[in-house]
Amino acid sequence: MLVSGVRGIDSMFPTRTSGNSDVFSEILNDFKVKPSDKSDVVNVDNKALENDSDFQPKVTTGFFPSGQAYTFFNVEDNLTSSDKAYLKSLGWPTTGSSDLNFLASNIAQDRVDGALKGSLTKEYLFGDREKGLSGLVERMQGMGSGFSELCTTLLKTIDQGKQNS
């Protein structure tokens, strides 16, 4: 599960915080979180999708008593059927922290945020300088060469899947 919109919380490592913030689980224990009338849960069965462009993220949003907004989502629920198939061919999910789990989390986050619509593409993974688009690899440049190599392998897997269909 990833969390966004909560200051100081590191979604990849929920027990670690930045700054003087409380750990998210402590926040939940301290406050009875009541979803507001503005809360929204979208349920979509990924197996029923025929086209990645039809995908709708599945998220839960609400507000803490302080008025701060939160968004919860499960990574697997926010990957399309084809995302999952390509990632599983690379060995996803893995136990613990890994570049592959990080890749899946970023794809899901981009689907939730609306930054990724439709199928995974070379443009999404590596960007397009002519169009002024930065890709996932560029946005995650601090991850090191392993992440870039993983995205290259993913792109090869996607291209191979297109050739076989």
Is residue 161's pLDDT more than 90?
no
Q: Is 144 inside a domain boundary?
A: yes
Residue 87 lies in a domain: yes
Mean predicted lDDT score pLDDT of the chain: 76
In a domain, 52, yes or no: no
34 burial class (0-12, 13-18, 19+ CB within 10 angstroms)?
exposed
User: What does the CA dihedral 58, 63, 69, 71 come to, rounded to 10 degrees?
Assistant: -20
The answer to whether residue 90 is domain-embedded is: yes
Checking if the pLDDT of 111 tops 90, the result is yes
Which tokens sit at 65?
Answer: 């008593």
Query: Does residue 134 sit in helix, strand or coil?
Result: coil
Note the residue count of the chain: 165
Residue 163: pLDDT band (50, 70, 90) is low
pLDDT, tens digit (0-9, with 9 covering 90-100), for 6-39: 544 444 444 444 444 444 555 455 444 444 343 3
Better-predicted residue by pLDDT, 164 or 53: 53
Mean pLDDT of 59-79: 92
- Give yes or no for a contact between 80 and 158, defined as CB atoms under 8 angstroms apart: no
What number of other Cβ atoms are within 10 A of residue 140's Cβ? 16
pLDDT at 20: 40
Q: Give the H/E segment covering residue 69.
A: strand 69-73
CA torsion angle 19 22 23 24 (round to 10): -110
Mean pLDDT of all residues in 32-47: 37
**Domain containing 148: what range?**
79-164
pLDDT at 39: 33
Residue 150 is assigned to a structural domain of this protein:
yes
- The count of domains in the chain is 1
- Predicted local confidence at residue 54, as pLDDT: 76
108 burial level (CB within 10 Å; 0-12, 13-18, 19+): buried
For residue 39, being part of any structural domain is answered with: no
Q: Is 109 contained in some domain?
A: yes
